[in-house]
Structure 1
Amino acid sequence: MSHPLLSLVLACTLAAAPLAARAQGATVAFGGLQQDTSLPVEIQADQLAVNQADGSATFTGNVLVGQGEMRLSAGEVRVEYGPEGGSIERLHASGGVTLANKAEAAESVEAVYTIASGQVVMTGDVLLTQGQSALSGQKLVIDLKAGTGVMEGRVQTVFQPGGSVGGGAGSE
C-alpha cells in the first residue's frame, strides 16, 4: 500500500473506533412507550395460580397485560405483590415477551417490569422496532416514565432512509 492510501485507511479505522465502542450500548428514545405507571394494570390469561406463601400469582397461557396504551404479552407472567398484598410491585414475564405501544414494539425472551420505578428490563435476543427501523441486542432497559431506554450487548441496527431509531441510536 502506498503511504497516502495507508494513511487514509488508518484515519478511517481510527474514526470508526468510537462508533464500534458505542455499538456496545445505545441510548434510544421511546416516546411511544412513555407510560403513566400509576394507571391500573389489567391482566388476562388462560390460567391463574396463586401462591399464598410468597404472595405471588402466576398467569399462564396467552397472557396479556395492559396499562394505559401499553401492552405486554407473554407465555407466563408472575406477579409479585407488595407487603400488604394489594399493590403490584413487579411483573416477571417469560416465554416470548412482546411490549408494544403505538408504533414501537420490543421483543425478548424475558422481561421484568418494576411498577413503582416504571423500569422494564428485557433480556435475551431483544429486538426493538420503531416504525421501519430496528435495533437489537441482549438487554434493553426502558424507563417508561421518561420515555427513554438503553440497549446493551452487541447492539446492531438497521436504519431505513428517512427514518431513525429513537432520534439517534448511540447518541448520549
Structure 2
Amino acid sequence: MFRTPFPAAFLITIALPVLATAQQLSFAGIRADQNAPVEVLSDSLKVNQESGQAVFSGDVRVNQGTMHMQAAEVEVIYDPKDRSKISTLHATGGVTLVSPTEEAEAQEAVYDVAAGTVVMTGNVLLTQGENVMSGNKLNVDLRTGTGQMDGRVRTLLKPATKTGGQ
C-alpha cells in the first residue's frame, strides 16, 4: 500500500503527466472532526418531516471544522432512528470540497457522515498545492486522511526546484 504523503511524491526532477486506472492518495488536510457541528448556509430550504429529508438550494455552503463544501444543492438525509443526527449529505450541481491544503471539484458528492467518507463523481479535479490530478471518481476517508482516485486518472507532477545554484 502506498504510504508516502501525496505531496512528497512530487519531489521528482521532471514534470510529466501520469495516466493510470487508480491512484492512492494522502489527504493531510482533508480530515473531518465528526463531532464538530455541521453548519449549512443556503438561499432556501425545503423540509419533509415524514421522509426525514431537507433540501438546501442556492449557493449552499456546508462547514464542519476545517472542511468546507459548496454546491448548488445539498440534500440532507437524517438517520431514520434518530432524526436529530445527519446520516448523509448529497451535494449536486457542481461541488467544491476545500480543506486548508487541498481542493477537489466534481459534479456531485456524497458525504456519509457516520462512515466518515466522501465520494465525489463526475469530472473530478483535485488540487494539492501546485499539483493537479483528475479522474472519474474520488473516494476520501476523512478519518484516516487517505483516498483513491479511480477512472482514467491523469496526474500532473510539479518538479521540485533546486535552490542555491545546484
| TM-score of the aligned structures, taking structure 1 as reference length | 0.81
Q: Does 1:149 align with 2:109?
A: no
Task: Name the structure with the higher strand share.
Answer: 2
What letter matches 2:130 in structure 1?
Answer: Q
More helix by share: 1
- Aligned equivalent of 1:77: 74
In 2, distance between residues paired with 1:153 and 1:38?
A: 32
Shift of 1:139: 0.2
Is 1:135 matched up with 2:133? Answer: yes
Report the equivalent of 2:121.
123
**Ranges of 4+ aligned residues in structure 1 off by more than 4 Å:** none
Of 42, 45, 48 in structure 2, the residue corresponding to residue 45 of structure 1 is: 42
* Equivalent residue pairs, number: 143
- Residue 8 of structure 2 corresponds to none
Which sections of structure 2, spanning at least 5 residues, go unmatched? 1-17, 162-166
In 1, distance between residues paired with 2:33 and 2:66? 9
Q: 1:106 aligns with which of 92, 104, 126?
A: 104
What is aligned with 2:12?
Answer: none
Measure, in 2, the Cα distance between the counterparts of 1:35 and 1:76.
Answer: 21
> Could you list the runs of 5+ residues in structure 1 that have no partner in the other structure?
1-18, 164-172
Once the two structures are TM-superposed, the CA of residue 52 in structure 1 deviates from its matched residue by: 1.8
Cα shift readout 1:131-162 (whole Å, capped 9, x = no counterpart): 00000000000000000000000000101112
The residue type equivalent to 2:134 in the other structure is S
Amino acid at match of 2:136: Q
- Normalised by the length of structure 2, the TM-score is 0.83
Structure 1 vs Structure 2: percent identity of aligned residues? 50
Residue 54 of structure 1, CA deviation: 1.0
Equivalences for 1:17-32 in 2 at 5 Å? 23-32=20-29
Counterpart amino acid of residue 116 in structure 1: A
One-letter amino acid of the counterpart of residue 74, structure 1 = A
Amino acid at match of 2:122: G
Alpha-carbon distance in 2 for matches of 1:123, 1:65: 18
Partner of residue 156, structure 2: 158
Match of 1:65 among 56, 62, 66: 62
Between the aligned partners of 1:56 and 1:74, the Cα distance in structure 2 is: 17
